[in-house]
Amino acid sequence: MAIRKVLKYGEPSLREPSKEVHKVSRKISDLVRDLLDTMYAQNGVGLAAPQIGENVRVFVIDVATGNEPLNPIVFINPKIIKKSGAIESNEGCLSFPEAYTNVRRYKNVMIKAINEHGKSFVMEAKDGTLLARAIQHEYDHLDGILFIDHCINRFETEAILEKYHLPALETDRLLEEKDLEEELGKND
């Protein structure tokens, strides 16, 4: 359909919670195609609707690498229904060009969603795979949460944002993640 502009960190709509989709309409189908076109054009692994200015609960992911065929997965009205374990991950985001920082994520997630055909499905991603981390990253976008809110080292993250001329870290948005911290502490 169309390659859309990816909103950059600092745009207020990236912090707004998204609305449920009531019907997989033509408008939603077009949005899904735009998300996929935009994600592939930017060499992304995932893209959430709020990142292109549409605050609805839709995101797409494709973790295919190298010569693997494209394998897009569409998530509409997703809900994470189970999560466990903890992993440290180095993440970036298309809304934060070139900026990466270490974050805490769950190692295993189970998600329920609707696909682009209106069919419900459940997917499990385990062992801290790229898919498990991408699901959490994109899911957060739907609630106005950004990957930097999960950062492990606040000062390192602030320096990275400054280096790439991005707005400062919103320290009031940093997440308390005691369960993940404890789990990661056990792994040391």
Give the global pTM.
Answer: 0.95
Marked catalytic residue, from 91, 116, 138, 177: 138
User: Measured over all CA atoms, what is the biggest interatomic distance in the chain, rounded to whole angstroms?
Assistant: 49
Q: Residue 188: what pLDDT?
A: 55
Which CATH number goes with the domain that contains 109? Answer: 3.90.45.10
Q: Does any domain span residue 4? A: no
User: pLDDT by residue (tens digit) across 97-145?
Assistant: 999 999 999 999 999 999 999 999 999 999 999 999 999 999 999 999 9
Q: Does any domain span residue 2? A: no
**Closest by CA position to 166, among listed 102, 103, 91, 96:** 96
Confirm whether 138 is a catalytic residue.
yes
Q: Residue 187: what pLDDT?
A: 63
pLDDT band at 66 (very low <50, low <70, confident <90, very high): confident
DSSP track, 118-139: S-EEEEEE-TT-HHHHHHHHHH
Q: Does any domain span residue 90? A: yes
User: pLDDT by residue (tens digit) across 5-56?
Assistant: 999 999 999 999 999 999 999 999 999 999 999 999 999 999 999 999 999 9
* Domain extent for 46: 12-187
Q: Residue 183: what pLDDT?
A: 86
176 vs 155: CA distance, rounded Å: 16
Mean pLDDT of 158-170: 96
- How many distinct structural domains can be found in the chain? 1
